[in-house]
Structures are given as structure tokens and as C-alpha cells.
Chains A and B, each alone.
Chain A
Amino acid sequence: MNRKTILIISAWAVTFALGLVGFYQRMTYGHQLAGYGSYASWGLWVADYIYFVGLSAGAFLLSSMVYVFNVKRLEKIGKLALFTAITALIAAVLVIWFDIGHMARFYEIFTRPNFRSMMTWMIWLYTAYFLLLMAEFALVMRPELSKKPLPAGTLKMNQRMVMILASIGVPLAVLFHGGVGALFAVVGARPYWNTSLLPLMFLLGALLSGGALLTAVITFMWPTRDEGYRDLVQYLGRLVLAMLLLFAVFEWSEISVPLWSGISGAFQADVESIKLALFGPYWWVFWVIHLGIGTIIPIVLLFAFPRNPTRVGVASLLVALAFLGTRLNIVIPGAVTAQLRGLETAYVDSRLVFSYVPTLHEWLVTLFAISVGAAIFLVGVAKLPIFGPREVTKA
């Protein structure tokens, strides 16, 4: 084992060990150690969930550029993108499973679904999406894993199947992740979420964060360092930059319109939540993490050093990591804005408050989900020929 491998394994082991503590606590104490309350009832785990599903949908949509749109420059990363999408989805489902009050009742979503609920749609869509991901990944890996080279006919058939699945996958991923955005956007009681722009921002955010994660993984883990590698990283860096700028435009629209409109009316609660995100006690999540680390520094790096793989990689990693802050700033300000004034003093209880800070326990459970996803990813990358050109074109 080289030093890099030892480093990665030790970092993973520490994360997993901490995660196990969180897992144990969750299984023993239920929700008692969580920081969210009865009024502001969604917290870090929900933010984690939309962060991970975003990474998954973004990575998948990038893989479709290979398998649907045949973008030659990206064909080497198709398998990696698919595999990233699978592992991120597993982490997402795991963390949201810990979030529900009765974990053993999760099956009810399939046995007695309510199709008026966006949550039902989201879960049914991501179940379909997960099955499709597995099938597509199996087909993509088939030529690589078969002992003997596949006959040309079989290979061609395989290629067609991948193309069909990937083509179904694109609208599915758009619906599924747009649906996650809609889950929030349809909540009329929370004007901060209740905007038509939100599902679109979820999609864009997915492309941005998933693309950035993939770029970072490729930059730091790609087996070769040749001209092709530099071209690939440069191309991906440009994609990340474009999406960063586009996301900033959407965000500007989402923030500036309610703040600008003087008398607030329907925007009142929206303005309150926005002000909370921008100037509340956790102002630094927006200004430092999201805007500084996750937006401005990466934009500068990507603009100034497009052909420097390390800097493109660092910029992408910053975007991918800081995006959790962006997701937190979607969930929390909406959740902690009161519906009625004076409830907090009407009945005084530590769970009946309009403020929220994730507890250590919630972070540990987050680490558990991350470490499980990372374990699958690292083992997969080590054992399967995931890096490399797509085999389906070899025919």
C-alpha cells in the first residue's frame, strides 16, 4: 500500500468510527439527541439528504452526456459518473431514513402511497431512478467484467440498452430532483420555499454540485496525468464555472425580488427568512461558506487557472463541499420562520422554539451516511474498472 492509500483508509476509518457513535446514539435514543424541535422540525439530516440527492442527480446527468448525447470528450468518465450517482443516492436514502420517526414503517410509502403528496412522488421516482442506475451500471460494466470478450452483436445490443436506459434516466432524474425541489416549493405555509424558481434551482444546484464533485474526484483520483487528463479537467472546470455563474443569477433573482418589493404582503415571511439567512446569527453560512468559499474563490480559480488541474480540482472541491451550506440555507431559514407570532412565549419548551442548530449527534449521523457512501465508492473504485474509456464503444 502506498502512502496515499493509507491516508485515505485512515481518514475513512476515523469518519466511520465517529459515524458509528452517531448510529448507536440514533438507535438507542431515537430523536432525543437531535437539535430540531417541534416547530422547526426539519434540520441537518434533511439538508444532508437534498445535498446527497443533488450530488447524485448531477453526476447522473453528466453521465448522460456520454450515454445519451455522445459527448466524446467526456466518454472516459461515464462509468465514474454513474457510480458516483449510485453511492451518493445510497448516502442520501440512509440519512433520510434516520430522520423519520418510525424507521420500520418506511415500506408504507410503497404499500399505501398518497399520490397527492410530493414526498410520495419523490420517493417513487428515486426508487425507479435507483433501479435504473443499477441496471445501467451493470450493463456499462458488463463488457469490462466478462471473462471473454463479448461478441460484436451482444456488445452492440448492450450499447443500445445503455442508450435506452440512459435516455429514460434523463427525464427521470429531472423529475426526481425537480420533485425534491417541488416538495419544498409546494408548501404554501412557508413563503421562503413557496417559489416557482425553487425546483429549477434544485436542478441547477444538482448539476453544479454533482459536476463539481465529479471534477474534484477526477482531478485527484484519475490514474494518468497525460494531455488527455489535462483537457478533461479543463473541460469539466469550464462546465463547473458556467453552472456556478448560472446558479448565481438564479439566486440573485430569488433573493433580490422579495427584498426589493417594499411593502411585503405575500413576501413578508419570505423576507423574514431571507434576512435570517443573510443577516441572522448564522450569516457566515451564506457570506463565508456559500458566497466566499463556495462561489467567489472557485470562480476566481476557474477563471484565472483553467489549465491548472490542481487549482481546477481545488475550486471544484470547494464548490462541492460548500454546497452543503447552500442546502442548509434552503432548509433552515424556511423551517425556523414562525407561522404565528408569540408561540415561543405562549408555551415555553426547548422543542417549541423557532431556532435551530445541528447537534453533535446530528453531525455524527451525517458522518455515518458519508462513510457508508464513501466505503462503497472506494471499494468500487479499487475493485472495478471504473476509471477508463467506456467499453460499449469498443465494438
Chain B
Amino acid sequence: MTEEKRVESERREFLKAASVTIGTLAATQLLFGEKDFPQKVRALESSALVSQELEQLPVGERESTLLRMQRELQKALKKPMEQRRWVMVIDLRKCIGCSACTVSCNSENVLPPGVVYRPVVEEEIGEYPNVTRRFIPRPCMQCDNPPCVPVCPVSATWKRADGIVVVDYDVCIGCRYCIMACPYNARTFDFGERYTNGTPKEMAYETRPTFEYSEQWPREPDRSPIGNARKCHFCIHRIESGMLPSCTTSCIGGATYFGDANDPNSQVSKLTGQPNVMRLREELGTNPRVYYLI
């Protein structure tokens, strides 16, 4: 109920803002006599009309996807961990290859050179003149049958009850066997380098700590995560604070979805029950928890 009221007030705010804008534009028109003014006003009016129409729709359908996913995430957090099943769905038709997710992930997790959690692979399909491009963001697949887990000699990596494959930075010896065993190249090694190596000044953006796994990891020589294998963890530290992974909130095309697959009404559950769903290298039997819509 309160949610509905909040949305309602947001709509009012928007309409208010829209009328102010229209008023300003009208004033501009009066002052400068711009020629195509009526079209602009009409466009704005129509968008205001759309909002009015949106208000008639039930809450679920006019709610922003991000807000919905966040609400579902917070709902899932109320369950015990083993009853959640985090999955990610990436709609390749919506991905425009802007790499905002890669950048926001790098920033969120303070990734050094040589470490990347979510690169966006670019593919070119077809022959000129019938050519198109496809962008495939590649986070960790959080496989249900992860090849990286059994190879670790010291059990420093494992699959949590909620499906996320984690690394214990304090235990990992840095042998890199898991890196060799991952069929998605989703693990990288922290060499302890900095982007500012060889420049006069160390920048604060590189020396600040990372908060992965809800702990503070200061970036100092020989201290973990330097010398460790590192990977995407669906931003556990954000999830557990009720926030969506950084790649999901930063996706400007709205191509990345995240949620609990154990909730049959969640956005991700609806999306994965479609015929255009695929997973990367399915033939390997790794059972990834990252789905692609094509």
C-alpha cells in the first residue's frame, strides 16, 4: 500500500515537473519565437499523457524493473540462505555493448590491472552488407557443477548454499589451478599491480579497500587479495545489504536481471521460462546460473 502511495507521489512530482517545463518552454517561445515549438510541447504533453495512462495500470506492471528486482531481492533475503537461488539473466537483444557494467564492477570491487570480473565480449555476425553485432557480458557463471571448486588444494573456494561460488581470500594460496580449470576464463589473478605504477602519484581510487565478501580488504603489498585468484561473486556484499549487483543497477539498457529463481513470481523466474533462453557452453555440464536471452 505504502509502495503504491509512493509511486503515486512520484507520478505527481513528474507531472508537476512536466508542467513547469512546458511553462518554461512556452515562455521561451514567447520570448524567442522558436518555430518548431508546438511539436515539442505536444511531445511533452503526450509523455505526460502516457504517465497518466501508466497510473491506470496495476502496480506490478508499471513498476520499474530495477525497483521490482530490488523488492524481490529484499523479500528473498528474509528466507534462510539455502532457500534462495540467485541467478542472473542477460538479455542480449538489449545489451548495447557500452561496458558500463564492466566499469561499475571494476569500481565497486576496486579491481587492479589484470583482474576483470565482467568483460563484455563483442561478436560480429554475418557477411557484409548483412552484418550485425552481438555483445555478451560474461560474469562468473556460478555453475551448479563448478569445475573450479574441486581442484582447489586447500578448499579455499566453494559453492555457497545460495549458489554463489566464493573464494576465501585468507586461505587461497594462489596456485591458480582454479584459473586453469574454469571453462569460461572467469577467474583472474591479482598480481598486485596498479594502474598508476610508474607514474608520479598513487591515486586514491586504487589504494582504497575493497569490500568484497562483506569484509574490508586494504590494498597493501603481499596482503590478500593480492596473490589470490579473484572472480565475480554477484556482489555478495551488496546483495546482503539489500542492493542489486553493481552490474545490474548500472546497465543502461536494462539488459541485466538478477533475482531469486526459487521465487516462481520473480522477474528472473519469468524470464528463464522462455524458449529463447540459453547458457554458455551448456555441453560441458557445468550448469551455469547465468542465463542469456537471445
Residues in chain A within 8 A of chain B (CB atoms): 30-32, 34, 37-39, 41-42, 99-102, 105-106, 108-109, 112-114, 116-120, 123, 183, 186-190, 334-335, 338-343, 345-347, 349-352
Contacts and interface: CB of A to CB of B under 8 A. Distances in A.
A109 B153 CA distance: 6
Contacts of B136: 342
A101 B173 contact: yes
B154 interface: yes
B221 A100 contact: no
A346 B155 contact: no
Contact of B171 (A32, A108, A123): A108
B182 interface: yes
B227 interface: yes
A342 to B, nearest CB: 4
B152 interface: yes
Interface residues of B, number: 50
Contact of A339 (B151, B155, B182, B221): B182
A270 to B, nearest CB: 14
Given A116-B150, A118-B151, A101 B116 contact: no
B184 A117 contact: no
5 contacts: A34-B191, A108-B154, A188-B147, A343-B121, A346-B121
B8 interface: no
Nearest to A104: B222
Nearest to A342: B121
B119 interface: yes
Given A105-B172, A342-B136, 16 more contacts: A31-B192, A32-B193, A38-B114, A38-B187, A38-B188, A41-B179, A109-B153, A109-B173, A112-B155, A339-B182, A343-B121, A343-B185, A346-B119, A349-B116, A351-B114, A351-B193
Contact of B174 (A101, A190, A334, A340): A101
A106 B187 CA distance: 21
B68 interface: no
A286 B67 CA distance: 58
Given A123-B153, A188-B183, A101 B175 contact: yes
B138 interface: yes
